[in-house]
Structure 1
Amino acid sequence: MTKGLVMVYTGNGKGKTTAALGLALRAVGHGKKVLMIQFMKGDKNYGEIKAVERYLPGFKIIQSGLDTFVDKNNPSKEDIYLAQEGYNIALKEIKSAKYDMIILDEVNVAVEYNLLSLDQIIDLIKEKPDNLDLVLTGRYAPYKVIDIADMVSEIKEIKHHYSKGIKAKEGVEF
């Protein structure tokens, strides 16, 4: 049995979810089962949703959010409810030992926006079976999570096309 890792992709640059999707692709290529829970996301038009449904039977994505942005200073009751629902799914699936890798996409942002507590995330990490790879993405990774993690990559923005007024592009941002 190989030791499972806790891996974190954080920072203000673009590519945290994309990096986690790359890990998932590698894992599926080796016959592993992968689950991604997308916090604060609820739009089925994301390219990864379409690709997983069409081509990757060993990979499952569950969205646990609305298809609108969350107001950090005033999250809706539904935003909070959906994040908590995602947490409950994550806890159940982590304990189930059905997956080799579980990705908690944007979970760090969900904590920063007070949709989830830091204690909940620490509990998820503690519940992780020894052989499970657990990946946490999103800006604002809490220091406690960084301390616990086996691997942390900070993705730093140097330049982004948004600053030129270029809008979100299908196949790049979603």
Structure 2
Amino acid sequence: MTDTHAQKKARIKAARDRMMAEKTAEKGLVIVHTGTGKGKSSAAFGMILRCIAHGMPCAVVQFIKGAWDTGERRLLTGQFGDLCQFHAMGEGFTWETQDRDRDIAAARAGWEKAKTLIADPQIRMVLLDEVNIALRYDYLDLAEVLEVLAAKPPMTHVVLTGRNAKPELIEAADLVTEMTMIRHPFRAGIKGQAGVEF
């Protein structure tokens, strides 16, 4: 039994080694985290921390929820400000501001900052947190966003998070992950908590 298992795993390893040997290209990726489940921004911030651990300059532009005092913002600005720029540009969820013109102005200011960061080849990853929400409500021009992503420096990664990613953005992306909600404590009357939600 053990010999059969070892032989099977040896065949799998040889196949994996061949497959990995063929993968030699590198490029900056367009990455989309979307879906109704929790974890889109959390996963993206995990990537930002990986960049920091590798000494790679990176940047965050927060759309929509930029007014929040979040743990990731505290950590990145307090401990890693030399490697990670952090720009909280939103004013809160749309039901909080209740002012479409103000929401559009905040999203556009965030997008102007994002364009500058994306164009800088020294910055290896730019996280556009909750930008999909700004695109969903037409606060930003999707065609312009796609144009900027297509023209980004070749080794720059751009991560776009938020529910309801536009189909055109999904089509243009190199990596797309959809978070699916199965259960969420909010539905059981439990509020968002530090360390889990923010």
Which category describes the TM-score, using the shorter chain as reference length? over 0.9
8 Å CA contact 1:4–1:133 kept in 2: the answer is yes
Q: How much has 1:8 moved relative to structure 2?
A: 0.7
Structure 1 counterpart of 2:28: 4
2:90 is the alignment partner of 1:62:
no
CA drift of 1:65 comes to 1.0
Over 3 Å off, 4+ runs: none
Which structure would you say has the larger RCO, counting Cα contacts within 8 Å and 6 or more residues apart? 1
Name the counterpart of 1:88. 112
The question of whether the paired residues in 2 share the 8 Å contact of 1:10 and 1:140 is answered with: yes
1:40 touches 1:64 (CA, 8 Å); kept in 2?
yes
Alignment of 1:115-154 (within 5 A): 115-154=139-178
In structure 2, relative to structure 1, the CA distance for the partners of 1:3 and 1:22 (3 Å cut) is same
Task: Report if the CA contact (8 A) 1:38-1:104 is conserved.
Answer: yes
| TM superposition shift of 1:138 | 0.6
One-letter amino acid of the structure 2 residue matched with residue 63 of structure 1:
A
Deviations 1:11-33 (A, max 9, x none): 00000000000001111101101
**Could you report, residue by residue, the CA deviation over 1:44-68 in whole angstroms, capped at 9, with x for unpaired residues?**
51111111122223112101111x3
Q: How many aligned residue pairs are there?
A: 172
In the alignment, which of 25, 50, 65 is matched to residue 74 of structure 2? 50
Higher helix share goes to which structure? 2
What secondary structure sits across from 2:33 in the alignment?
strand
Query: Aligned AA for 1:111?
Result: L
CA displacement, residues 56-104 of structure 1 (integer Å, 9 cap, x when unaligned):
23112101111x32149x6421111010011111111212223000011
Instruction: Flag structure 2 segments of 5+ consecutive residues without an equivalent.
Output: 1-24
TM-aligned CA distance change 1:112 to 1:159, over 3 Å: same
- Where do 5+ consecutive residues of structure 1 fail to align? none
Q: Using structure 2 for the length normalisation, give the TM-score.
A: 0.82
The structure that has the greater radius of gyration is 2
1:135 Cα deviation from its structure 2 partner: 0.6
Q: Secondary structure at the match of 1:87?
A: helix
Q: CA RMSD in A?
A: 1.7
- The CA deviation string for residues 110-150 of structure 1, in whole angstroms up to 9 with x for no partner, is 11112112112212212211110111111111111111111
TM-score, normalised with respect to structure 1:
0.93
What does 1:15-26 correspond to in 2, within 5 Å?
Answer: 15-26=39-50
1:107 matched to 2:107: no
Q: For residue 79 of structure 1, what is the aligned residue in structure 2?
A: 103
SS for the counterpart of 1:89 is helix
